[in-house]
Amino acid sequence: MRVPSNESLDAGGAEAAPAPVAVQFVHGQVMQRKGEHLAIAAQENVESHVGAGWRDVHLLHEALPRVDLAAVDLSVEFLGRRLRAPLIISAMTGGHPAAREINARLGRAAQRHGLAMGVGSQRAALRSPGLADTYRVAREAAPDQLLVANLGAAQLVPQDSGEPLHPEQVREAVTMIGADALAIHLNFLEEVVQTEGDRRVTGLREALAAVVAEAPVPVIAKETGAGLSRRAAVELAGLGFRALDVGGLGGTSFAAVEAARARARGDRRGAGLGDIYRDWGIPTAVSVVAAAGTGLPVIATGGVRTGLDAARAMALGAHLVGVARPLLTAALEGETALDVWIERFLEELRVAVFLTGGARAADLRSTPKVITGETRRWLDDLGYLG
């Protein structure tokens, strides 16, 4: 993988044998931030120091499997669509020249493997329509797959950075990529650390309810690394969201990403806060249990790195799992690396279904399990198992 930095970066395009994608920093605050996020995520250690909790979830081995390994069915239904596997390529990028080829590669992978895919926040394209193609390419590459548009909750209310997004802009984000669903991401930890972050929340709940009511597609509430409590999950369900992406602690820390950006700008406040709050949040395993209690479909995102992690998440109540940074890294390397990563992940998941006596991925949601360690303590202390 090659991701050069600063002025030496060259935003290359697709080739017959896909080359590594390079990220070029360009003018425009939002566009530049997108490029910096790509470069930092690819090059720096921005994982949380706290695990997602998967090692505390033990699935019961069945010595007498029920179906041939090759016959295990990984397909699932989500928001009325059938997927060949319970994996969504999580929202990552867009709004930067290099993002076009990355989203194209991710989209083609989603099409080949029958997966869902989300794009990164589309605010950049709403402000600069010339960037819309960096998102739209995902639909061109994945014409038959469930595609999720993406906007930030913070931008639904007035901020120092500008007026809130209007209903027609929300619809435009959906239309831009021919989306089947819309994610509203809750990234307030990141906004607090980010040098230019949006930190006002007055009127937020009313704005969320309005978007859910007016959106032309189902709306997903998506945390981005700090997890969901039971109280937040119940409140989001009450606002009308159709699914919850828990975005828990245990994977990429956007506080760490923003701390790196802040240091590069000499912003001591942001750098300090990002370092202190790098491991803030609710581990993904705990968040899945919290969200599953609402009865809504749950996406487990945050520190999912293997098919066994995915199986554990589904045993806790998840319907899908989301993976971001590992697939971004693979996409930067090329199409072959993406296929290798996805195929290995799905084989690991298939083996988990097989060894727990299941025939379908959905069987994992009712498989016996034992929860130990820190995850058990979290669940007991919060009363989530009662």
pLDDT category of residue 42 using cuts at 50, 70 and 90: low
pLDDT category of residue 97 using cuts at 50, 70 and 90: confident
Report the pLDDT value the prediction gives residue 98, as an integer from 0 to 100: 82
Report the pLDDT value the prediction gives residue 345, as an integer from 0 to 100: 98
- Whole-angstrom CA distances from 369 to 10, 298, 346 are 49, 18, 21
11 contacts 22 by C-beta, under 8 angstroms: yes
**Domains in the chain, CATH or no CATH each:** 33-382 (3.20.20.70)
139 contacts 107 by C-beta, under 8 angstroms: yes
**Per-residue pLDDT at 386 exceeds 70:** yes
Report the pLDDT value the prediction gives residue 10, as an integer from 0 to 100: 28
pLDDT tens figures, 226-285? 999 999 999 999 999 999 999 999 999 999 999 999 999 999 999 999 999 999 999 999
Let me know the angle formed at the C-alpha of 91 by 344 and 110, rounded to the nearest 5 degrees.
45
Report the pLDDT value the prediction gives residue 23, as an integer from 0 to 100: 38
pLDDT category of residue 27 using cuts at 50, 70 and 90: very low
**Per-residue pLDDT at 99 exceeds 60:** yes
Report the pLDDT value the prediction gives residue 3, as an integer from 0 to 100: 41
**Per-residue pLDDT at 37 exceeds 80:** no
User: What is the C-alpha separation between 8 and 219, in angstroms, rounded?
Assistant: 40
Report the pLDDT value the prediction gives residue 376, as an integer from 0 to 100: 98
Report the pLDDT value the prediction gives residue 8, as an integer from 0 to 100: 27
Report the pLDDT value the prediction gives residue 29, as an integer from 0 to 100: 64
User: What is the C-alpha separation between 355 and 358, in angstroms, rounded?
Assistant: 7
- The per-residue pLDDT of the chain, averaged, comes to 91
- Average pLDDT for residues 134-163, to the nearest whole number? 97
Q: What is the dihedral of CA 100, 106, 107, 112, to 10 degrees?
A: 150
Q: Which two tokens stand for residue 63?
A: 């010595």
Q: What backbone torsions phi and psi does residue 343 show, to the nearest 5 degrees?
A: -65, -40
User: What is the C-alpha separation between 314 and 356, in angstroms, rounded?
Assistant: 12
Q: Higher confidence at residue 386 or residue 59?
A: 59
92: amino acid identity, one letter: M
pLDDT category of residue 100 using cuts at 50, 70 and 90: very high
- Whole-angstrom CA distances from 261 to 29, 139, 172, 265, 268 are 13, 30, 30, 7, 11
User: What is the C-alpha separation between 78 and 148, in angstroms, rounded?
Assistant: 12
Report the pLDDT value the prediction gives residue 24, as an integer from 0 to 100: 39
Report the pLDDT value the prediction gives residue 102, as an integer from 0 to 100: 94
**Per-residue pLDDT at 5 exceeds 70:** no
Of 151, 291, 255, nearest to 210 by C-alpha is 151
- Average pLDDT for residues 323-344, to the nearest whole number? 96
The mean-pLDDT minimum among 10-14, 202-206, 322-326 falls in 10-14
Q: What backbone torsions phi and psi does residue 88 show, to the nearest 5 degrees?
A: -115, 130
**What are the b/e assignments for 275-310, b being 16+ CB within 10 Å?**
bebbebbbbbbbbbbbbbbbebbbbbbbbbbbbbbb
pLDDT category of residue 44 using cuts at 50, 70 and 90: confident
- Average pLDDT for residues 282-306, to the nearest whole number? 98
Q: What percent of the chain has a predicted confidence (pLDDT) above 90?
A: 86
Report the pLDDT value the prediction gives residue 311, as an integer from 0 to 100: 99
- Average pLDDT for residues 181-210, to the nearest whole number? 97
40 Cβ contact list (under 8 Å, min separation 6)? 46, 257, 260, 261
